[in-house]
Amino acid sequence: MTLRSSSHWSRLDTCLLLGLFAFLAWLGYRVETGLNYQWQWQTIPQYLLRHDLATARWVPNLLLQGLLTTIRLSFWSLLIALPLGLLVGLLRTSLHLFNRLVGGSFVTLLRNLPPLVLILIFYFFISDQLLPLLQIPELLSRLPETVRQWATMCLAPPDQVEAFIAAVFTLALLEAAYIGEIVRAGINSIDVGQWQVGQALGMRRWQLMRHIILPQALQRMIPPLAGQTISTIKDSAIVSVISIQELTFQGMELMAATYLTFEVWLTVTLLYFLLTYSCSFMAGRLEKQFRHPY
């Protein structure tokens, strides 16, 4: 690129940024004058943190509690979805027709159903029919207080744990279908010569996959896997329909109680952005580390 063309694009970028700032300023002006809205940002911090008189400490309030629940949902969902998606991807690239049919049926079924339908099906089936047979709340109530506190911190309160588990499994299965396709595409992107060299050395297929194919495919899978991680965080908002008290649910409850529509949803937006951008930043660093290991 010549110096002249570089200068041209620099001026174009500057004009686009100025246009964006002008639009945001106009939008803020319309909200301020057209809607006649009285901003009350000073009330939002109390819904992030509150002072607990019993312990004399600052503890998370509604919005931060919802953010922590979103993090827990995303963490457990990804913890299940990643190995399950890897298995589905391996089935999709298997030499056996039965394995390919199983992997393909899993992906086709879950990718072509609306997430809301899956949430409701799993909630009314797993949470209402299967999980009560395990008597998880009763088991938690018999545990020592310290263990119950850790279970509440890592999962959910005892009265919400069954719905939480149903939400985690639904999100995990949904994301595993997409991760399986990412794994399949990563494996298929490796040059066929790599397979031929490994076979010439007498390596079995699973040895070839473990030592040669998957390490190379992983480097190519990091960007789409990072995108799927961010998608999992955003998809977790849909479990608010089954009263999981994650960030979107807490935002709706708080808006209904305070009528601070703009303040609440802008704060929720910022919290989601901080969470997803942190994941994106770490994925970028991880990709650079794999690209330049030394």
Output the domain CATH number for residue 217. Answer: 1.10.3720.10
For residue 115, being part of any structural domain is answered with yes
pTM listed for this prediction: 0.83
Distance separating alpha carbons of residues 214 and 204, to the nearest angstrom: 14
For residue 24, being part of any structural domain is answered with no
For residue 213, being part of any structural domain is answered with yes
Burial of 231 (0-12, 13-18, 19+ CB in 10 A): middle
pLDDT above 70 covers a percentage of the chain that reads 93
Give ∠ CA 129-175-83 in degrees, rounded to 5. 90
Distance separating alpha carbons of residues 95 and 109, to the nearest angstrom: 22
Burial annotation 29-58 (CB, 10 A radius, 16+ → b, else e): eeeeeeeeeeeeeeebeebbeeeeeeeeee
Q: Which two tokens stand for residue 248?
A: 């979107």
Q: Among the listed ranges 52-56, 76-80, 243-247, 272-276, which one has the minimum average pLDDT value?
A: 52-56
CB neighbour list of residue 81: distance below 8 Å, 6 or more residues apart: 171, 172, 173, 175, 176, 179, 232
Choice between 201 and 61, residue whose per-residue pLDDT is larger: 61
What does the pLDDT average to over 84-109? 92
pLDDT tens digit string along 247-292? 999 999 999 888 888 889 999 999 999 999 998 888 888 877 776 6
Q: Which two tokens stand for residue 178?
A: 């997409």
DSSP three-state, residue 235: helix
For residue 201, being part of any structural domain is answered with yes
Number of domains making up the chain? 1
Q: Please report the pLDDT score of residue 292 as a whole number.
A: 63
Q: Please report the pLDDT score of residue 141 as a whole number.
A: 76
Q: Please report the pLDDT score of residue 3 as a whole number.
A: 47
For residue 17, being part of any structural domain is answered with no
Choice between 138 and 272, residue whose per-residue pLDDT is larger: 272
**pLDDT-based confidence at 243, cuts 50/70/90?**
confident
What does the pLDDT average to over 140-150? 80
Choice between 81 and 123, residue whose per-residue pLDDT is larger: 81
Distance separating alpha carbons of residues 177 and 76, to the nearest angstrom: 16
**pLDDT-based confidence at 241, cuts 50/70/90?**
confident
Distance separating alpha carbons of residues 13 and 16, to the nearest angstrom: 5
Choice between 267 and 51, residue whose per-residue pLDDT is larger: 267
Instruction: Report whether pLDDT(119) > 50.
Output: yes
Q: Please report the pLDDT score of residue 35 as a whole number.
A: 67
What does the pLDDT average to over 162-189? 90
For residue 73, being part of any structural domain is answered with yes
- Per the structure, the complete domain to which residue 195 belongs is given by 65-244
Q: Please report the pLDDT score of residue 14 as a whole number.
A: 82
pLDDT tens digit string along 182-239? 999 998 888 888 888 888 888 888 888 888 888 888 888 888 888 898 889 988 888 8
Distance separating alpha carbons of residues 95 and 205, to the nearest angstrom: 10
For residue 190, what is the DSSP state?
A: S
Q: Which two tokens stand for residue 159?
A: 């009265």
Distance separating alpha carbons of residues 7 and 4, to the nearest angstrom: 5
Q: What is the mean pLDDT of the chain?
A: 84
For residue 292, being part of any structural domain is answered with no
CB neighbour list of residue 89: distance below 8 Å, 6 or more residues apart: 103, 179, 180, 181, 182, 183, 184, 186, 187
For residue 245, what is the DSSP state?
A: -
Distance separating alpha carbons of residues 210 and 187, to the nearest angstrom: 11
For residue 187, being part of any structural domain is answered with yes
Choice between 92 and 161, residue whose per-residue pLDDT is larger: 92
Closest CA to 130 of 118, 122, 120, 142: 122
Instruction: Report whether pLDDT(2) > 60.
Output: no
What does the pLDDT average to over 139-144? 78
